[in-house]
Amino acid sequence: MIDFNQILARVTILDILEDAGYHPPKNRMPCPLHKGSNKTSFSFTDSTFICHACSAKGGLLDLAQYLHHYRKQDAMRHLCTMAGISYEEKDTDSGPRPRVRPLPHHLNPLLADDEYREAKNRLEWLKLYHEGLFRKLRIIRCNVKQGNIPLEQFYPREEVLLYQLEELDGEVTYATYEVNRLKRKVYENVESP
């Protein structure tokens, strides 16, 4: 059993960002998840983060998953490596545990196909990105209504965002099709002996 408090004591959100190649000067920066341009939309503490533009939020494990497109286990393994502790660490109070054999691929459809998991993760990321762009468009429209942005600056921004949203709609549709196709493929493999 991994003691998450050991990871919290040794790894911070800043460490994860720097490990991924980001070097924020303070605890605010452009969002690395939706690649935003607002220099203050993404804020973080030692153990939590939030993006005020795309609404992504969470802790160490969530950020490692988002930045590296990891599954939860892989993100935990990465954090353990960063903290310098063994991922296979056993709880000393419980004694030796019996080894659990993993299910065969044909009995475990959701873990059977890495391609399906990757397609599903990509679809989730595209939906998050779409939501972020849509919120950005709403913020710009609110700023125009309040008179903070002149119309000359609004129309080019709106045009670019609408184009990006239109392109992203196509990608989300295709990614949804791929997830459904791969899901059927995985379940067909399960049903056939």
Q: What is the pTM of this model?
A: 0.45
If you ran DSSP here, which 8-state letter would residue 105 be given?
G
What are 83-131's pLDDT values in tens digits? 888 776 444 444 444 444 444 444 444 444 567 778 888 888 888 888 8
Establish if 116 belongs to a structural domain. yes
Give the pLDDT mean for 164-173: 84
Task: Indicate if 183 and 132 belong to the same structural domain.
Answer: yes
pLDDT > 70 in the chain, percent? 80
If you ran DSSP here, which 8-state letter would residue 100 be given?
P
Which pLDDT value is given to residue 1? 58
**Strands in the chain per DSSP E:** 28-29, 42-44, 48-51, 57-59
Give the pLDDT mean for 151-160: 83
Establish if 131 belongs to a structural domain. yes
Task: Indicate if 124 and 177 belong to the same structural domain.
Answer: yes
| Continuous segment of H or E residues that includes residue 57 | strand 57-59
Which range of residues forms the domain containing residue 67?
4-83
How far apart, in Å, are the Cα atoms of 160 and each of 10, 60, 164, 167? 42, 33, 6, 11
1 Cβ contact partners less than 8 Å away, ≥ 6 residues apart: 89, 90, 91, 94
Which pLDDT value is given to residue 104? 44
If you ran DSSP here, which 8-state letter would residue 3 be given?
-
Which pLDDT value is given to residue 111? 44
- Of residues 184 and 88, more confidence is placed in 184
Tokens of 65: 């998953």
If you ran DSSP here, which 8-state letter would residue 113 be given?
-
